Amino acid sequence: MENILKSSGLVLLNSANYNRWQYEQFRPYVNETVLEIGCGLGNLTQYLREDAKFLLSVDTRQEAVAFIQERCPQRANFKVECLDIFEEGLKEYARHPFDTIVFSNVLEHIADDAKAMTTCHEILRPTAGKLLLLVPAHQFLYGTLDAESGHYRRYSKKEIIRLARISHFKILDLYAFNVSGALGWFLNYCVLKRKGTNNAPASLQVDFYDRFLVGPSRFLEEKIRPLVGLSYIAILEAQK
């Protein structure tokens, strides 16, 4: 179980400021019925279940699902399941009219990302359903942690636009996110080529970043969107 939890980004488990900042990029677009694909350890789940009328969070790893069941106990408006929707479908939830999909730090793990995006389109309500997407940005930032994490790629704006077009999504917003994180990532994983940092239950660097840098970064990026970031945020709307 420990190895599974580590592969889910254990180092960010207690990064409350960063997790909240990331969630707030999605929050204005979270509607009533939400599907969270690849929920990991629940860093976004904890917020989604407070805002959604109904939330289904799925992950392919039973150990991660068990962890979330303790961290975020299930209730009438929240279910968590061990399920690979791209291989198994939604099973008993197949007819549920989801109007929002949250797809954060997952697409880069899927070889056929275009097919995954098309599946998301098929799941969503046919009119105005929202796909809230976060992916790692800029192939020049591909480093040792990407390789360790099983990332097939990092994304450019051009590639996100292409994927949206072929999977029948309209882009409502698309922007780089977390430039300070990108600088740290480049130093640690492209220059120093560090390994194993995602496997630690705690990190002095991550703790320092969460306590002292997230606030200023958030303030600045609310004023001026950066050209470069650790991630891209895309707000997509399903088209017929």
How would residue 125 be classed by pLDDT, with cut points 50, 70 and 90?
Answer: confident
pLDDT given at position 237:
97
Distance CA 150, CA 34 (A): 26
Beta-sheet pairing, 169-177 with 33-37: unpaired
How would residue 205 be classed by pLDDT, with cut points 50, 70 and 90?
Answer: confident
Which residue range forms the structural domain that includes residue 111? 2-238
**Domain at 11, CATH number:** 3.40.50.150
**What 3 state SS string does the chain have?**
CHHHHHHCCHHHCCCHHHHHHHHHHHHHHCCCEEEEECCCCCCCHHHHHHHCCEEEEEECCHHHHHHHHHHCCCECCEEEEECCHHHHCCHHHCCCCCCEEEEECCHHHCCCHHHHHHHHHHHCCCCCCEEEEEEEECHHHCCHHHHHHCCCCCECHHHHHHHHHHCCEEEEEEEEECHHHHHHHHHHHHHCCCCCHHHCCCCHHHHHHHHHHHHHHHHHHHHCCCCCCCEEEEEEEECC
Q: How many domains does the chain have?
A: 1
Q: Which helix (H) or strand (E) holds 86?
A: helix 85-88
How would residue 8 be classed by pLDDT, with cut points 50, 70 and 90?
Answer: low
Q: Are 47 and 104 in contact (CB under 8 A)?
A: no
pTM, rounded to two decimals: 0.94
pLDDT given at position 127:
82
